[in-house]
Amino acid sequence: MPELRKDPVIGRWVIISTERDKRPDQFSGQASDPAEKPCPFCPGNESETPPEIYAVRKGGSARNTPGWDLRVVPSIAPFLRIEGDLDRKGKGIYDLMNGVGAHEIVIETNRHTANMADLSQEEIVNVVNCYIDRINDLENDERFKYVMVFKNYGWSAGGGRVRHARSQLIATPVNPKRVKEELVGARQYYDYHERCIFCDLIKQEIKTKDRVIMDLDGFIAISPFAARFPFEVWIIPKKHSCDFVNLEPDSRKYFAQILKAVLSKIKKGLNDPAYNYVLHTAPFRRKKMGYWKSIDHDYHWHMEIIPRLTRVAGFEWGTGFYICPVPPEDCARFLREVQV
Amino acid sequence: MPELRKDPVIGRWVIISTERDKRPDQFSGQASDPAEKPCPFCPGNESETPPEIYAVRKGGSARNTPGWDLRVVPSIAPFLRIEGDLDRKGKGIYDLMNGVGAHEIVIETNRHTANMADLSQEEIVNVVNCYIDRINDLENDERFKYVMVFKNYGWSAGGGRVRHARSQLIATPVNPKRVKEELVGARQYYDYHERCIFCDLIKQEIKTKDRVIMDLDGFIAISPFAARFPFEVWIIPKKHSCDFVNLEPDSRKYFAQILKAVLSKIKKGLNDPAYNYVLHTAPFRRKKMGYWKSIDHDYHWHMEIIPRLTRVAGFEWGTGFYICPVPPEDCARFLREVQV
| Structural domain includes residue A278 | yes
Q: Is the pLDDT of residue A25 over 70?
A: no
- Give the pLDDT band of residue B29 (cuts 50, 70, 90): very low
Question: Average pLDDT in the B127-155 region?
Answer: 95
Looking at residue A130, the DSSP 8-state letter turns out to be H
| Burial of A238 from C-beta contacts in 10 A (0-12 / 13-18 / 19+) | middle
Window from A19-28, A134-143, A309-318, B60-69 with minimum mean pLDDT: A19-28
| Structural domain includes residue A317 | no
Are residues A55 and A164 both part of a single domain? yes
| Structural domain includes residue A249 | yes
Distances (CA, A) of B70 to A53, B54, B73, B191: 61, 8, 10, 42
Are residues A234 and A251 both part of a single domain? yes
Q: Is the pLDDT of residue B30 over 70?
A: no
Question: Average pLDDT in the B94-106 region?
Answer: 95
Using one digit for the tens of pLDDT, what is the confidence trace for B250-260? 999 999 999 99
Share of chain A above pLDDT 70, in %: 92
| Structural domain includes residue A45 | yes
Are residues A128 and A259 both part of a single domain? no
Question: Which B-chain residues 100-159 have CB contacts (< 8 A) with chain A?
Answer: 148, 150-152, 155-158
Output the DSSP codes for B191-222.
Answer: HHHSS-HHHHHHHHHHHH-TTEEEEETTEEEE
8 Å CB contact between A21 and A117:
no
Chain A residue at shortest CA distance from B157: A313
Question: Which A-chain residues 193-212 have CB contacts (< 8 A) with chain B?
Answer: 197-198, 200-201, 204, 208
For residues A51 and A104, what is the distance between their CA atoms, to the nearest angstrom?
A: 11
Distances (CA, A) of A294 to A175, A240, A284, A297: 17, 13, 13, 6
Chain B residue at shortest CA distance from A318: B278
Mean per-residue pLDDT of chain A: 90
A270 touches chain B (CB under 8 A): yes
Residues facing B90 on adjacent strands: B95
For residues A143 and A6, what is the distance between their CA atoms, to the nearest angstrom?
A: 17
CA B121 to chain centre: 19
Of B27, B32, B320, the CB nearest to A176: B320
For residues A280 and A302, what is the distance between their CA atoms, to the nearest angstrom?
A: 5
Residues facing B171 on adjacent strands: B102, B147
From A106's Cα to the closest Cα of chain B, the distance in A is 15
B288 touches chain A (CB under 8 A): no
Main-chain dihedrals φ then ψ at residue B22, nearest 5 degrees: -80, 140
| Structural domain includes residue A47 | yes
B contacts of A310 (beta carbons < 8 Å): 27
Of B32, B278, B327, the CB nearest to A319: B278
A contacts of B208 (beta carbons < 8 Å): 92
Amino acid B26: pLDDT: 62
Which of residues B172, B206, B240 is at a domain's end? B172
Are residues B255 and B198 both part of a single domain? yes
Q: Which residue has the higher pLDDT, B256 or B1?
A: B256
For residues A322 and B21, what is the distance between their CA atoms, to the nearest angstrom?
A: 17
Are residues A142 and A289 both part of a single domain? no
Chain B residue at shortest CA distance from A14: B322
B contacts of A273 (beta carbons < 8 Å): 27-28, 30
CB atoms within 10 A of CB B58: 8
Tell me how far apart the terminal alpha carbons of chain A are, to the nearest angstrom.
46
Q: Is the pLDDT of residue B25 over 80?
A: no
Using one digit for the tens of pLDDT, what is the confidence trace for A53-111? 999 998 889 999 999 999 999 998 888 999 889 999 999 999 999 999 999 999 999 99
Using one digit for the tens of pLDDT, what is the confidence trace for A230-265? 999 999 999 999 999 999 999 999 999 999 999 999
Q: Is the pLDDT of residue A31 over 70?
A: no
DSSP 3-state percent helix, strand, coil across chain A (nearest 5)? 35, 20, 45
**Torsion angle of C-alpha atoms B62, B67, B68, B72, degrees rounded to 10:** 50
Contacting residues for B172 by C-beta, under 8 A, at least 6 apart: A321, B4, B13, B80, B101, B144, B145, B146, B147, B148
A26 touches chain B (CB under 8 A): no
Tell me how far apart the terminal alpha carbons of chain B are, to the nearest angstrom.
46
Number of structural domains chain B divides into: 2
Q: Is the pLDDT of residue B318 over 80?
A: no
Burial B79-118 (b: 16+ CB within 10 A, else e): bbeeeeeeeeeeeebbbbbbbbbbbbbbbbbbeeebbbbb
Are residues A11 and A119 both part of a single domain? yes
Contacting residues for A180 by C-beta, under 8 A, at least 6 apart: none
Output the DSSP codes for A164-218.
Answer: S-EEEEEEESS--HHHHHHHHHHHHHHHHHSS-HHHHHHHHHHHH-TTEEEEETT
Distances (CA, A) of A175 to A97, A154, B249: 14, 27, 45
Q: Is the pLDDT of residue B293 over 80?
A: no
| Structural domain includes residue A75 | yes
B contacts of A189 (beta carbons < 8 Å): 8-9
Of B179, B230, B278, the CB nearest to A314: B278
Are residues A52 and A148 both part of a single domain? yes
Question: Average pLDDT in the A287-313 region?
Answer: 82
8 Å CB contact between B232 and B273:
no
Q: Is the pLDDT of residue A214 over 70?
A: yes
Looking at residue A62, the DSSP 8-state letter turns out to be P
Q: Is A98 helix (H, G, I), strand (E, B) or coil?
A: strand
Question: Average pLDDT in the A195-221 region?
Answer: 97
Q: Is the pLDDT of residue A28 over 80?
A: no
Are residues B87 and B227 both part of a single domain? no
Amino acid B316: pLDDT: 77
Are residues B139 and B17 both part of a single domain? yes
Sheet holding B146-153, edge to edge: B54-56, B70-74, B102-107, B166-172, B146-153, B275-280, B302-307, B233-237, B219-222, B212-216
Length of chain B: 340
Mutate to test the interface with A, among B104, B184, B317 (most CBs of A within 10 A): B317
Sheet holding A233-237, edge to edge: A54-56, A70-74, A102-107, A166-172, A146-153, A275-280, A302-307, A233-237, A219-222, A212-216
Give the range of the structural domain holding residue A299, as residue numbers without chain letter.
177-310+322-337
Q: Report chain A's C-alpha Rg in angstroms.
A: 20
Burial B12-44 (b: 16+ CB within 10 A, else e): bbbbbbbeeeeebeebeebeeeeeeeebebbbe
Residues facing B305 on adjacent strands: B233, B277
From A26's Cα to the closest Cα of chain B, the distance in A is 9
Of B29, B278, B312, the CB nearest to A271: B29
Which of residues B116, B141, B172 is at a domain's end? B172
Distances (CA, A) of B229 to A245, B307, B323: 33, 8, 7
Q: Is the pLDDT of residue B44 over 60?
A: yes
B contacts of A200 (beta carbons < 8 Å): 92-93
B contacts of A270 (beta carbons < 8 Å): 24, 27-28
Per-residue 3-state assignment (H helix, E strand, C coil) for A219-254: EEEECCCCCCCCCCEEEEECCCCCCHHHCCHHHHHH
Window from A29-33, A197-201, B151-155 with minimum mean pLDDT: A29-33
Are residues B210 and B89 both part of a single domain? no
Amino acid A29: pLDDT: 47
8 Å CB contact between A264 and A340:
yes
For A304, what's the count of Cα atoms within 13 Å in the CB-facing half-sphere? 23
* CATH code assigned at B326: 3.30.428.10
CB contact under 8 A, B313 and A22: no
For A34, what's the count of Cα atoms within 13 Å in the CB-facing half-sphere? 10
CB atoms within 10 A of CB A278: 24
Are residues B255 and B275 both part of a single domain? yes
Which of residues A172, A202, A222 is at a domain's end? A172
Question: Which A-chain residues 228-247 have CB contacts (< 8 A) with chain B?
Answer: 228, 230-231
Using one digit for the tens of pLDDT, what is the confidence trace for B296-312? 889 999 999 999 887 76
Question: Average pLDDT in the B9-13 region?
Answer: 87
Amino acid B20: pLDDT: 52
8 Å CB contact between B259 and B121:
no
Using one digit for the tens of pLDDT, what is the confidence trace for B194-226? 999 999 999 999 999 999 999 999 999 999 999
| Structural domain includes residue A298 | yes
Amino acid B38: pLDDT: 83
Are residues A64 and A187 both part of a single domain? no
Window from A236-240, B150-154, B178-182 with minimum mean pLDDT: B178-182
Question: Average pLDDT in the A288-310 region?
Answer: 84
Using one digit for the tens of pLDDT, what is the confidence trace for B225-252? 999 889 999 999 999 999 999 999 999 9
User: Which of B36-45, B80-89, B260-269: highest mean pLDDT?
Assistant: B260-269
Q: Is A70 helix (H, G, I), strand (E, B) or coil?
A: strand
Q: Is the pLDDT of residue B21 over 70?
A: no
Nearest-5° Cα angle at B38, B36 to B44: 145
For residues B176 and B125, what is the distance between their CA atoms, to the nearest angstrom?
A: 27
- Give the pLDDT band of residue A175 (cuts 50, 70, 90): confident
| Structural domain includes residue A316 | no
Residues facing A216 on adjacent strands: A219
Chain A residue at shortest CA distance from B15: A323
CB contact under 8 A, A226 and B182: no
Share of chain B above pLDDT 70, in %: 92
Window from A55-64, A217-226, B33-42, B147-156 with minimum mean pLDDT: B33-42
Contacting residues for A5 by C-beta, under 8 A, at least 6 apart: A13, A14, A16, A94, A95, A96, B225, B226
